[in-house]
A = this chain, B = another copy of it.
């Protein structure tokens, strides 16, 4: 599943005009461009670094906090194709590193300590990595569809992605 996210987002987003990739759901919500920056930051500081903390320190060392807004400075001035390339490259390297850890069932049950959630296991961290990817594929699909909230006219009633019901 983790290897699928870069090509999935590439197929969905690469080459789209900025009117789609920079669009969001209003207020402080994120655009597809913002989400890509967030996914990149996760590859850099979240998933594998936290796995390494668990393997080295167990729950004796709390994870570093994750900055959910890091992409607003880190992505400044970059292009979406550049972010897609970066995400694919980082994910590939992280999956190679994950494979090289040769995790056993006992490793997967090792505990770590989340700054807000408390004790979690390495197994839960890896499952969350997968679900988090899917959460953001869902978010990007929703953000894109909602740009057509008015354009679909009466069909709005049938489109849960727009009506939210």
Contacts and interface: CB of A to CB of B under 8 A. Distances in A.
Interface of A: 1, 4, 7-8, 10-12, 16, 20, 114, 117-121, 123-125, 127-128, 130-132, 134-135, 137-138, 141-142, 144-145, 148, 151-155, 157-162
Given A10-B11, A153-B124, A141 B138 contact: yes
Given A8-B8, A120-B155, A148 B127 contact: yes
Contact of A153 (B16, B120, B151, B160): B120
Given A12-B4, A12-B137, A137-B12, A128 B155 contact: yes
- A-B pairs with lowest CB-CB distance, top 9: A124-B153, A127-B151, A134-B145, A135-B161, A7-B11, A117-B154, A138-B141, A128-B155, A8-B11
17 contacts: A4-B12, A8-B8, A8-B12, A10-B11, A114-B155, A117-B155, A120-B153, A124-B153, A124-B154, A124-B155, A128-B148, A128-B159, A131-B145, A131-B161, A134-B142, A137-B141, A138-B138
A41 B142 CA distance: 23
Nearest to A20: B1
Chain A interface, DSSP helix/strand/loop, else mixed: helix
Contacts of A123: 151
Given A11-B4, A151-B123, A134 B157 contact: no
A103 to B, nearest CB: 15
